[in-house]
């Protein structure tokens, strides 16, 4: 049932040194799968470099092993040089090589590059890929690797895989939650993971700045398309007024999505002249990855996004609203 490509299995078993990487602004699945795979590989006697472009955000510092993440490019170069060719890279949860971040070109020189991902709109990159859009999370795929290679899963790695899966399934609520997901989670609980511990860190651990930020961001709520489309906005002025950082807005999009009438929720994160990014969440059959693709992004059917350049935020908002309105009217005709 697991279709771990033979080449990936071979390199995981035979290579001595690994550079692990994921997408920029990593979420629980990105970090959880990276940290868990790092542990697993170390347990197999390998050396591992856990690379991230930026330090782990405060929200995820509770994850065991997050303190071992390294952002230093000269340390990375030294690690690769010391491997004397016995090295491989693994990109986790990354649907598109542009999402590797600003050091993409440098990272892509580490070969072979294995790619393990579950994004439906995955744009192929790397040398050996295992991409399975029917998986709830990359964390679930790492669990399959552990089973396939018959290696040990430490309690720290089990905890990180739990965080990965709980994050990407919206706490087991999204349609990507399968019976296999639940069976894997049962195994993780048997290894000692305590759901209330992981979820306490994830969901009951807000700073006051984050709550103030939520107040202001929710105050920007707009409804369109007969209340099927809800948008919220985050601007530098709002961030400044609460002393918060953009990472504090993680998860806010679930509030407009939770409205009864809403089919698509959008969070605009605007960043002055530095452009911005857009997160979309949908329900059921509504495929926002298609809309994200029109704007150069991608993602999953019910969770997608894109980034954009320039400071014409108002035009971007209007263009996306028009695209989503057209999309939602097609959708209701189809019903």
299 binds, among ligand 5GP, Mn ion, none (CB under 5 to 8 A by kind): ligand 5GP
Give CA–CA dist 317/26, Å, rounded. 24
Name which of ligand 5GP, Mn ion, none residue 306 binds, using a CB cut-off of 5 to 8 Å depending on partner kind. Answer: ligand 5GP
Residues in the chain: 335
Counting runs of H as helices and runs of E as strands, what totals does the chain give? 13, 11
Q: Is 166 in the site for ligand 5GP (CB under 6 A)?
A: no
Whose Cβ is closer to ligand 5GP: residue 32's or residue 297's?
297
Contact stretch for ligand 5GP (CB under 6 A) within 125-133, 142-150, 298-306, 314-322: 298-306
As measured in angstroms, the least distance from the Cβ of 230 to ligand 5GP is 14
Quote the distance between the C-alpha of residue 259 and its chain's center. Answer: 24
Among ligand 5GP, Mn ion, none, the one that 303 touches (CB under a kind-dependent 5 to 8 A) is ligand 5GP
Residues 119-138 that bind Mn ion (CB under 5 A): 137-138
Cα gap 158→193, rounded to integer Å: 7
Cα–Cα distance for residue pair 143/146, rounded to 1 Å: 5
Among 93, 140, 250, 270, binds Mn ion (CB under 5 A): 93
298 binds ligand 5GP (CB under 6 A): yes
Rounded Cα distance, 35 and 248, in Å:
22
Instruction: Give the residue, chosen from 28, 32, 170, 305, that forms a contact with ligand 5GP under the rule CB under 6 A.
Output: 305
Query: Could you tell me which stretch among 83-91, 148-156, 160-168, 197-205 binds Mn ion (CB under 5 A)?
Result: 160-168
Task: Work out whether 29 is an interface residue with Mn ion (CB under 5 A).
Answer: yes
**Of 36 and 253, CB closest to ligand 5GP:** 253
Instruction: Give the ranges where the chain is alpha helix by DSSP (H).
Output: 6-14, 28-43, 73-82, 104-107, 138-149, 155-168, 179-190, 195-203, 208-218, 236-242, 254-257, 288-294, 313-334
Cβ neighbours of residue 105 closer than 8 Å, sequence gap 6 or more: none
Least Cα distance to 107 among 77, 67, 85 occurs for 77
Strands 128-131 and 113-117: parallel
304 lies in the binding site for ligand 5GP (CB under 6 A): yes
Residue closer to ligand 5GP, measured from CB, 10 or 203: 203
Q: Could you say whether residue 168 binds Mn ion (CB under 5 A)?
A: yes
The footprint of Mn ion (CB under 5 A) covers 29, 93, 137-138, 168
The footprint of ligand 5GP (CB under 6 A) covers 27, 95-96, 99, 119, 279, 297-300, 303-307
């Amino acid at each position: 049932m697991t279709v771990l490509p033979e080449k990936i299995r071979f390199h995981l078993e035979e290579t001595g040194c690994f550079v692990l990487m994921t997408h920029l602004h990593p979420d629980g699945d990105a970090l959880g799968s990276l940290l868990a795979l790092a542990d697993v590989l170390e347990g197999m006697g390998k050396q591992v470099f856990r690379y991230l472009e930026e330090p782990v955000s405060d929200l995820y510092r509770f994850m065991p092993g997050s303190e071992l993440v390294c952002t230093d490019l000269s340390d990375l170069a030294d690690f690769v040089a010391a491997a004397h060719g016995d090295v491989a890279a693994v990109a986790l949860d990354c649907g598109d090589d542009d999402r590797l971040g600003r050091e993409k070109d440098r990272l892509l020189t580490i070969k072979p590059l294995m790619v393990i991902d579950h994004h439906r709109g995955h744009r192929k990159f790397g040398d050996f890929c295992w991409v399975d859009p029917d998986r709830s999370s990359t964390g679930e795929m790492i669990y399959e690797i552990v089973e396939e290679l018959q290696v040990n899963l430490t309690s720290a790695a089990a905890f990180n895989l739990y965080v990965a899966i709980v994050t990407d399934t919206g706490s087991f609520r999204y349609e990507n939650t399968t019976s296999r997901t639940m069976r894997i989670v049962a195994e993780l609980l048997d290894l000692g993971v305590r759901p209330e511990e992981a979820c306490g860190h994830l969901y009951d651990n807000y700073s006051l700045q984050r709550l103030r930020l939520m107040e202001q961001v929710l105050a920007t709520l707009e409804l369109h398309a007969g209340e099927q489309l809800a948008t919220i906005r985050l601007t530098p002025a709002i961030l400044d007024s609460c002393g918060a950082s953009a990472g504090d807005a993680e998860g806010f999009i679930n509030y407009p999505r939770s409205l009864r009438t809403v089919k698509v929720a959008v969070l605009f994160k605007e960043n002055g002249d530095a452009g911005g990014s857009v997160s979309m969440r949908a329900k059921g059959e509504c495929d926002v990855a298609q809309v994200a693709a029109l704007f150069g992004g991608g993602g999953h059917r019910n969770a997608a996004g894109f980034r954009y350049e320039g400071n014409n935020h108002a035009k971007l908002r209007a263009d996306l609203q028009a695209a989503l309105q057209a999309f939602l009217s097609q959708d209701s005709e189809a019903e």
